Amino acid sequence: MQPLGRMQRTPHCITAPAASDMKLGITPKLFLVLLATNVIIAIVVGVSVQWSVNARFRNYLEEREDRRLAMLSNVVTNAYTQHGNWDFLRGNDALWDTLNRPAFPNGDPGPPREHGPPGRGPGPPGSSADHEHVADRDRGAFPPPPPTQGDPQQRFRSHPPLPSVVDVQGNWIVGDARAESSSRQRDIIVDGKTVGWLIGDPGKSSPGGADLRFLEEQLKASWIISGVAVVLAAAVAWWLARRLLAPVKRLAGATHQLAAGDYSIRVAAGSRDELGQLVVDFNRLATTLESNEQMRRRFFADVSHELRTPLSILQGELEALEDGIRPLSRASLKSLQAEVATLSVLVRDLYDLSLADVGALTYRFEQVNLTELIQAALHAFGERFAVRRIALETDWAAGEPLLIEGDPDRLRQLLNNLLENSMRYTYPDGRLRVALKRVDATAQIDFQDSEPAVPPELLPRVFERLFRVEPSRSRGSGGAGLGLALCKSIIEAHHGEIRAKTSPLGGLWIEIMLPLEKT
């Protein structure tokens, strides 16, 4: 049994997946969905095929019955023409069986019945009725019956029941006396006159042995085809499930590594569909997170460096004052105050940037005249630029106010940061040109200074926090590197744009676009 202390050190954020979540992965689930869909389709198709085969088979039986009645009608018409009335057939089932034999395809309806209503027909061998029937058959009135083979009762049951014959008065002649009036009727016409009707009932007919075998084979084949289709569907579903989810699995594995802090992970895009676009977005996300992680580490290193420098100076000067190495004088106090001011500016800029990140940096928008605001800022920096021997040049139309909706305090902070940046980095005996003009519905402000220039590959990074072109980060060559980052945040809050370019004067060109006030 483990000690209690060791059990408490187990991370609480790691939980074992539930048992239900580990039963089936996404690949088996997708496979089962595809398989179930294909099985349902195969069953529906199989049932539909069987229904169609049965329906067509019934139609076939009805068409065959119609042909049989047509053929039998010709036979009965010829027989009636020879005898002139229905007496030869009335109640004579044996003769009726004989007459029906040519109407059955591939066989006969079976042997003549041994018992039936009295009437004319073949009698016992040697009788006069038998001789008369044979004479009629020899004259061609009735076809000779084919030899019987096999079980005659089975052959009889395999053929449809015999139709019925009624005369013009509706009296039953021969056949099934229970035939319904709704059954198929066919006129028996002799010399243009209807002498009777032939009545058949296809609903009571039964298919023959060959027909049944054909139907059974068709139904069996439909089920076999459905089974083969299900097997093929299962194989295709498994292949599709594995192929379609392969990039998803790779993406899931890469996501786990990304969540664990490995921001260098990338996934190869293998298609141009939605999954391929998802992979591209994942790689872009990983790149952004990797860049943000590098910026975060660099930011903390830069902030610690910026804070450590003035604190080290303060600590050294205070120790010198304490040890008596440096006397307490106005000059020493001014030096200490300068370092404290540097710390105050750095902390203030960091605080403003943190407020801007969370959207808590306050703005009081009102109508602002950019021309007057820029003139006031240049006037405030005039003496300092003169000390640095940097010439100030202005370029804007006199008397033309450019009005925008903005926060005058934040815009003044923006201008002070840009002027401070130019004053710190521009070489003595240089120039700074500030231009203001209207471009359509925007006001364009340009700050162009002389050397030194910023390398073109570093221009996109000048608005990063704590970024300075000079890698040694000497305080003599500039500030903490937060001014331009804060400028970008202020411009974005005013729905404007700020860009860094190479100045025609040889230094840095900061271009600002602010929307003018709508009139």
Instruction: Tell me the pLDDT tens digit for each residue of 229-269.
Output: 888 888 888 887 777 777 788 888 888 888 888 888 888 87
What confidence score (pLDDT) does residue 489 get?
A: 87
pLDDT at 155: 36
Range with the poorest average pLDDT among 111-115, 213-217, 328-332: 111-115
Q: How confident is the model at residue 133 (pLDDT cuts 50, 70, 90)?
A: very low
Query: 24-28, 178-182, 205-209: which has the minimum mean pLDDT?
Result: 178-182
431 confidence band (pLDDT: 50, 70, 90): very high
- Measured at the CA of 373, the angle between CA 367 and CA 376, to 5 degrees, comes to 150
pLDDT at residue 514 in the model: 94
Q: So what's the pLDDT on residue 436? A: 92
DSSP conformation letters of 287-356: HHHHHHHHHHHHHHHHHHHHHHHHHHHHHHHHHHHHHTSS---HHHHHHHHHHHHHHHHHHHHHHHHHHH
pLDDT tens digits, one per residue of 60-91? 877 877 787 888 888 888 888 888 888 888 88
348-357, 400-409, 469-478: which has the minimum mean pLDDT? 469-478
**pLDDT attached to residue 178:** 64
Q: What is the pLDDT of residue 55?
A: 83
For 19-30, what is the mean pLDDT?
A: 62
Please count the CA atoms within 13 angstroms of the CA of 120 that sit on its side-chain side.
13
Q: How confident is residue 177, by pLDDT bands cut at 50, 70 and 90? A: low
- Position of tokens 């036979």? 75
What does the pLDDT read at residue 183? 61
Q: State residue 390's pLDDT score.
A: 92
pLDDT of residue 411: 92
The rounded distance, in Å, linking the Cα atoms of 454 and 509 is 10
% of the chain with per-residue pLDDT over 70: 75
Question: Residue 137: what pLDDT?
Answer: 38
**Residue 24 pLDDT grade (very low, low, confident, very high; cuts 50, 70, 90):** low
**What is the distance between the alpha carbons of residues 450 and 193, in angstroms, rounded to a whole number?**
124
First vs last C-alpha separation in the chain: 80
Residue whose tokens read 């005058």: 408
Mean pLDDT across 24-32: 74
Sign of the C-alpha dihedral computed for residues 416, 418, 423 and 425 taken in this order: positive
List the alpha helices (DSSP H) in 84-151: 93-100, 128-138
Residue 434 has pLDDT above 90, yes or no: yes
Average pLDDT estimate for 354-373: 80
List beta partners, residue 369: 403
Q: What pLDDT is attached to residue 225?
A: 83
**pLDDT surpassing 80 at residue 374:** yes
Mean pLDDT of 189-193: 87
Mean pLDDT of the chain: 75
pLDDT of res. 469: 64
Side-chain half-sphere exposure of 35, counting CA atoms within 13 A: 14
Across 227-236, 266-275, 317-326, 425-434, the highest mean pLDDT is recorded for: 425-434
> Is the Cβ–Cβ distance between 488 and 498 less than 8 Å?
yes
pLDDT category at 359 given cuts 50, 70, 90 is low
- pLDDT of 192-232, one tens digit each? 888 888 887 655 555 666 777 877 888 888 888 888 888 88
Least confident of 93-107, 188-202, 378-392, 404-418: 93-107
Residue 129 has pLDDT above 90, yes or no: no
pLDDT at 433 over 90: yes
- In tens, the pLDDT along 439-462 reads 888 999 999 999 988 888 888 888
Q: How confident is the model at residue 435 (pLDDT cuts 50, 70, 90)?
A: very high
4 band by pLDDT with thresholds 50, 70 and 90: very low
